[in-house]
Amino acid sequence: MEMNEEQRRELIAVANNFVQYRCYTEQEAAGFIRTHYRTLGKWRRAGLLDCIRGNRVPREDTSWMGYEIADIILGKHRNQRRPNDPTVVGVAP
């Protein structure tokens, strides 16, 4: 049986200890993706990744939803050009 996108995201979230429908700071998101938060910020500013703007996380200008983090890990982000990272726990397509 093939998994749908929502099921894949949920498996990624569980495997990496985050929740899909919660906002995370850029530093938290970078930790789940296993990259430096400044690198994640560079990707965001370059337009490679979408994120939530505004004050959804206190004292932060940028917030990341868990499902966005899962999409980055899955390599399914629409603008993503990041090569697959074998250190990230994921689900094979």
The model's pLDDT over 65-76, given as tens digits with 9 standing for 90+, comes to 899 999 898 886
Residues 20, 13 contacting (CB under 8 angstroms): yes
The domain segmentation of the chain, as residue ranges, is: 5-74
What tokens were used for 17? Answer: 């200890």
The model's pLDDT over 28-49, given as tens digits with 9 standing for 90+, comes to 999 999 999 998 888 888 877 8
Cα distances (angstroms) measured from residue 88 to each of 20, 56, 61, 62, 66: 17, 26, 26, 22, 15
Closest of 62, 73, 59, 61 to residue 13, by C-alpha:
73
Domain 5-74: CATH class, spelled out: mainly alpha
pLDDT at site 83: 45
Least confident of 20-24, 51-55, 81-85: 81-85
Q: What is the pTM of this model?
A: 0.73
Residues 4, 84 contacting (CB under 8 angstroms): no
